[in-house]
Amino acid sequence: MILVIMGVSGSGKTTVGSFLSEKLGWTLYEGDDYHPKENIEKMGKGIPLTDQDRTPWLLLLHDIIQREMAAGTNAILICSALKKLYRQLLLFGRCALHSSHGVAEGGARVKDGLEGVLFAFLQGSFQLIQERVQARRGHFMSPSLLQSQFDALEPPSSAENALTVDIQKSMSEITAEIERTLSAHL
């Protein structure tokens, strides 16, 4: 099973992902670690990434998902995955760039999602997340980029095998909700 924790910058992906990885003993992949340095520099300067900037990065993350699924292991991937196209790139790789894409190796297609890959979307208001990122220290992402993250965001539909979690809840409620959904899928 692959759990992809998604949402805008500052929605709590790293906090939730680290907690669950520790608790469940699942390997954790931090998507930010796979950005080319040009992307990190851009974001640090407050310049939003474009589809072109994100595509090679998402394809790299797709390779990780494929590898983990082929090995049959459980893993957590932290990735903003803001647009539907990005989630399709994660699931189906380059095939997602063509209109009719097939099924990724080792997984059955469930409408727009893939059996074995659950998206957990951390949903919160601009105001709440802005407060959290402004209080956060030592992070490369410029808080000024938050509006562009919301502009790009396309919340996942249920056909994408996605769970939406309200980030006003406490960390223990959020992680318990994700765990319950995971157990139903395992």
Ligand X SMILES: Nc1ncnc2c1ncn2[C@@H]1O[C@H](COP(=O)(O)OP(=O)(O)OP(=O)(O)O)[C@@H](O)[C@H]1O
DSSP three-state, residue 140: coil
* Residue span 37-66 as binding mask against ligand GCO, x where in contact by CB under 6 A, dash where not: ------------x----x------------
For residue 62, the partner it binds in ligand X, ligand GCO, none, with Cβ less than 5 to 8 A by kind, is none
* Residue span 80-109 as binding mask against ligand X, x where in contact by CB under 6 A, dash where not: x-----------------------------
Q: Which residue has the tokens 């938050």?
A: 146
62: its two tokens:
């797709």
Q: How far is the CB of 37 from ligand X (least distance, A)?
A: 16
For 46, what's the count of Cα atoms within 13 Å in the CB-facing half-sphere? Answer: 3
Give me the amino acid identity at 136.
R
109-110/113-114 β-pairing: antiparallel
Torsion angle, alpha carbons of 178, 33, 109, 2, to 10: -40
For residue 14, the partner it binds in ligand GCO, ligand X, none, with Cβ less than 5 to 8 A by kind, is ligand X
Give the DSSP H or E segment for 151: helix 146-152
Residue 49 or 182: the one with the smaller Cβ distance to ligand GCO is 49
Residue 107 or 124: the one with the smaller Cβ distance to ligand GCO is 124
For residue 161, the partner it binds in ligand X, ligand GCO, none, with Cβ less than 5 to 8 A by kind, is none
By CB under 6 A, the residues from 75 to 114 that bind ligand GCO are: 80, 82
For residue 67, the partner it binds in ligand X, ligand GCO, none, with Cβ less than 5 to 8 A by kind, is none
Size of the site for ligand X (CB under 6 A): 16
Quick check: 134 and 126 in contact, CB under 8 A? no
Residue 75 or 104: the one with the smaller Cβ distance to ligand X is 75
Among 1, 3, 11, 19, binds ligand X (CB under 6 A): 11
- Applying CB under 6 A, does 39 fall inside the site for ligand X? no
* Interatomic CA distance for residues 32 and 139, integer angstroms: 11
Longest pairwise C-alpha distance within the chain: 44
Quick check: 9 and 80 in contact, CB under 8 A? yes
Residues that bind ligand GCO (CB under 6 A): 9, 32, 49, 54, 80, 82, 141, 149
